[in-house]
Amino acid sequence: MLSVVILAAGKGTRMRSDLPKVLHPLGGMPLLAHVLATARQLDPDVICVVYGHGGELVPQRLAAPDVTWILQEPQLGTGHAVMQALPRLHAASPAPTFASPTPEHLVLVLYGDVPLIRAATLRALIAAAGEDKLGLITAHLDEPHGYGRIVRENGKVARIVEEKDASEDERAIREVNTGILVAPLARLIRWLPQLSNCNAQREYYLTDIVALAVADGIEIATVQPAHPWETEGVNSKNQLARLERIYQRNIAESLMEQGVTLADPARIDVRGELICGRDVFIDVNCVFEGRVELKDGVRINAHCVIQDAVIGPGSVIGPFARLRPGTVLAEDVHIGNFVEVKNSTIGAHSKANHLSYLGDTTMGSRVNVGAGTITCNYDGANKHRTVIEDDAFIGSDTQLVAPVTVGRGATLGAGTTLTRDAPPGQLTLSRAKQVSVPGWKRPVKQKKE
């Protein structure tokens, strides 16, 4: 049996923000959401999140049926935090005992501000620890400042010393504790009540269970992550920005391995899930939010923002286009510069190449939308739908006041304001009479005295 406890109660003072630290976004998702997603890949029986600062905002934002939320109040350290989860873990265990030499209920401790830890690394940790060892993820750092040091004796882990409590020799150690560990529940039930807060921070350190494990003769297994960024935490906006770039670089590399062509891998932002077909091209400075699907042969030109949209095969988007949620494009659709599409379906081979807004629209195939076209979908209280049937031609500077339908093969003359349905196959236009005024002179700007 596997339980995961995620510690997410920290205040995040250095973030200088009213938003709880674990809710700050990385790749468009809260830091804690990344940790939860990784934990779920392990198929645990229980997931507990220990929260504190920010009150109920954290569980409200990330509420899920598979997560148990436990309030740590007051916050007295990491050991105290895990102790708050013990009753829930004890209740979930089939038979937690102190006497069993190989307890079957393992507890994995993660951190809500360490978002890039990989499931593969955690699986390696669990495998190394087995059912009767204490497992730690450690890392060798050239600059270990701020981390607890791994103190070894005869090659074996003897204890962990926090930097504020470390001697000069101990601070010279380069192997550090990442905080991530796995232990049998029965052992935690025994060790946690023995923790002391006799330290510089007056807190109950979870890391002190290492010395308790050594005293009990329990073997300590260590695993190192494949990448140093896996165990990096977020304590400041600078650290958050650094991990954002690492996260985006990893996504860019994954996309290219799938065959996607990126004009510059350093200039793409994926803030959600991006699914790409074959022969997709993405130019620089494009942002993808939510769930976006690009079918085969799609080309996304520079400076586009695409959110919760599906783009059909061979379509060309941008530059400077915005596709908002609910956009579904069929095959070979062209959405050009400074065109915004929202909650609309657009049929095959249709084009809106310049300076237009298409909201709440159902558009057929082979429709041409002229520059400056607007679907007027909002009456100040409710949204209404515009229907444009196959083979219609929408002249430039046209306003379609929804609800309205443009019939199959209809043509709307430039400058039309359409307030009634346009019949199929006919020209419809509405324009004020053009008038020229003889002798009219443009006003002259008066000089200031």
What would the pLDDT profile of 195-236 be if each residue is shown by its tens digit? 988 877 788 989 899 989 999 999 999 999 999 899 999 999
Provide the 3-class DSSP secondary structure of residue 89. helix
Give the CA dihedral 107, 226, 246, 284, nearest 10 degrees: -130
Instruction: Copy the structure tokens of residue 55.
Output: 């009150």
Average pLDDT over residues 295-300: 98
Residue keyed to tokens 């939320």 = 69
The alpha carbons of the chain give a radius of gyration, in whole angstroms, of 30
Q: How confident is the model at residue 101 (pLDDT cuts 50, 70, 90)?
A: very low
The predicted model gives 358-380 an average pLDDT of 97
Write down the pLDDT at residue 171: 92
| Comparison of pLDDT for 344 and 198, the residue scoring more | 344
* Strand, coil or helix: 159: strand
- Going by pLDDT thresholds of 50, 70 and 90, the confidence category of residue 146 is confident
Euclidean distance between CA atoms 244 and 233, whole angstroms: 12
Average pLDDT over residues 305-332: 98
- Assigned token pair, 373: 């076209």
Is 103's pLDDT higher than 70? no
The residue-averaged pLDDT of 414-431 equals 95
- The answer to whether the CB of 96 falls within 8 A of the CB of 103 is yes
Alpha-helix residue ranges (DSSP H) falling in 116-257: 119-129, 168-171, 185-191, 209-215, 237-257
How high is the pLDDT of residue 104?
79
Confidence class of residue 10 from pLDDT cuts 50, 70 and 90? confident
User: Any idea what the Cα angle at residue 274 is, between residues 294 and 68, rounded to 5°?
Assistant: 145
Task: Kindly state the average pLDDT of the residues 153-178.
Answer: 91
The confidence score (pLDDT) of residue 100 equals 47
> Between β-strands 374-376 and 399-401, what pairing exists: parallel, antiparallel or unpaired?
parallel
Residues 383-411: what's their mean pLDDT?
97
What's the confidence (pLDDT) of residue 102?
A: 43
Residue closest to 301 by CA, chosen among 286, 319, 285: 319
237: three-class secondary structure by DSSP? helix
Residue-range domains of the chain with CATH: 2-231 (3.90.550.10), 237-428 (2.160.10.10)
- Which residues pair with residue 149 across a beta bridge? 161, 176
Mean pLDDT estimate for the chain: 93
Interval 427-443 mean pLDDT? 91
Instruction: Tell me the mean pLDDT in the region 14-18.
Output: 91
Residues 6+ apart with CB under 8 A from 91: none
State which amino acid sits at residue 362. T
What pLDDT is stored for residue 75 in this prediction? 86
Which amino acid, 422? A
Q: Which residues contact 124 (CB under 8 A, 6 or more apart)?
A: 223
CA distance 6 to 49: 5
Nearest alpha carbon to residue 83 among 239, 195, 229: 195
* Catalytic choice (90, 227, 303, 354): 354
Q: Which amino acid is at 253?
A: E
Is 354 a residue of the active site?
yes
With residues binned 3-state (H G I as helix, E B as strand, rest as coil), the percentages for the chain, rounded to 5, are: 20, 35, 45
Residue 442 per-residue DSSP state: P
Percent of the chain with pLDDT over 90: 82
Is-contact 342 358, C-beta < 8 A? yes
Q: State residue 95's pLDDT score.
A: 59
d(CA 170, CA 162): 9
More confident residue, 117 or 54: 117
Reported as a single tens digit per residue, the pLDDT across 55-99 is 789 999 999 999 999 999 888 899 999 999 999 888 877 654 444
